Structure formats: C-alpha cells, structure tokens
Amino acid sequence: MPDATDLVLEASRVIGPGVIAVFARPGAGKTTLLRSLLLRWPGSRAAVDPEYQMQYSTGRICYLDLLGDDWRDLPRGGLIAIDEVDRLMARGPKEARWVLDLVNMARPWGISVAFSARRPSAVRRDLTACARIMALGQITERLDREYLSAWYPEAETLRSIKEFRFRVIRL
C-alpha cells in the first residue's frame, strides 16, 4: 500500500502545480510528511520554517527569507514547504499577507506550496480553500473536524486515524 508521500506526489503529478494542505494533531507526522515531500520532490525545493525546527540532511533544499521574495527564483515545478503555517500566520498581518501572496503567486509561476497546521480551524479559510490536495491525519478536536467538513464530509472519521497515517484527497 502506498504511503502518504507517494499518494501526494502522484496527485501532484496528475493535477499539476497547486497547494497541498497537511492537517493533523501534534505528533501525528505532519513535519515528517513535509520532510519526505521535500526530499522526494522531483523539482527544486525550498522550506519556510518559522521556528527553524525542520532539519534536512541534503544541501539541495534552501531556506527562504521569511518575508522576502526569493521564492521567485525557484524554477517551474518546484515545491515550497511551510511547516506550522497556523503559527506563522498568527504572528501578525505582515506574515499572513506574505503566506497568502506566496500561495496566490506560486501557481502561475508553476510552483507548488505545501503547508502543515496542527489546528485546521486556526488557518484562514481563504488559504485552506486554495488547497488542491489535502493530507488529513488524526484530528482530535471537534472544532477542527467541523472546519474540515466543508472540504471533506467524512471529517468526523479523522479522530480514529492511526498515528503517521493520512487520508489523501484531491479537491
């Protein structure tokens, strides 16, 4: 059975550049999934890590200036990963605007953006609505399952997903 990384990579190949949302409770494997995507993505890769917690064993992944625009230097087919986007956007309006601008501009440039969040309900709806692929892990909070039900009607079943397992859906 393919793992979540394989499913996300295959869906991305089929639908082309877009936004990938990864939602799950703390410790359920969100950062691990983002790392795996970054390490296996066929194009260029970059990471935005507001807490500088993600560590990679390859020199082929660059880190982007948090509020800069050097992401435009990525060639078409690239991937930008943002871990804990909910915490980044909560810092203030400047950071939230940067994330939304990045998401809105990346697709026309042929660049995909993957982001993770612990609390889906803490992510702005306009960002979640941009997702073309969702990887949904264990979601224990009722408010978060209700939030996700707008995109995934079976969201109530997400509380019983095992750790490090994800349901990958194309939107």
Q: Show pLDDT as tens, one digit a residue, over the chain (171 residues).
A: 458 888 898 888 888 889 999 999 998 989 889 888 888 887 777 777 555 444 443 444 555 554 455 666 677 788 888 888 888 888 888 888 888 888 888 888 888 899 999 999 999 999 999 999 999 999 999 999 999 999 999 999 999 998 889 999 999
Strands 167-170, 131-136: pairing is antiparallel
The kind and range of the H/E element at 9 are helix 4-15
* Residue 60, domain member (yes or no): no
Q: Decide: 96 and 124 in contact? Cβ < 8 Å.
A: yes
- Rounded to a whole number, what is the distance in angstroms from the first to the last CA of the chain? 22
Residue type for position 53: Q
Kindly report the CATH number assigned to the domain that includes residue 84: 3.40.50.300
Distance CA 122, CA 92 (A): 13
The model's pTM: 0.86
Going along the chain, which residue ranges are E strands?
A: 19-23, 45-48, 61-63, 79-82, 112-117, 131-136, 167-170
The kind and range of the H/E element at 135 are strand 131-136
* Residue 101, domain member (yes or no): yes
Instruction: Find tokens 């390859």 and name the residue.
Output: 58
CA 93 → CA 3, 11, 64, 90, 97, distances in Å?
Answer: 36, 32, 19, 8, 6
* Residue 102, domain member (yes or no): yes
* Residue 147, domain member (yes or no): yes
* Residue 122, domain member (yes or no): yes
* Residue 83, domain member (yes or no): yes
Q: Where in the sequence is the domain holding 147, given as residue range(s)? A: 4-53+65-152+161-170
Q: Which of 113, 89, 94, 118 is nearest to 103 (CA)?
A: 113
* Residue 30, domain member (yes or no): yes
Number of domains in the chain: 1
Question: According to the model, what pLDDT value does residue 2 have?
Answer: 59
* Residue 58, domain member (yes or no): no
Work out the number of other CB atoms within 10 angstroms of the CB of residue 35.
20
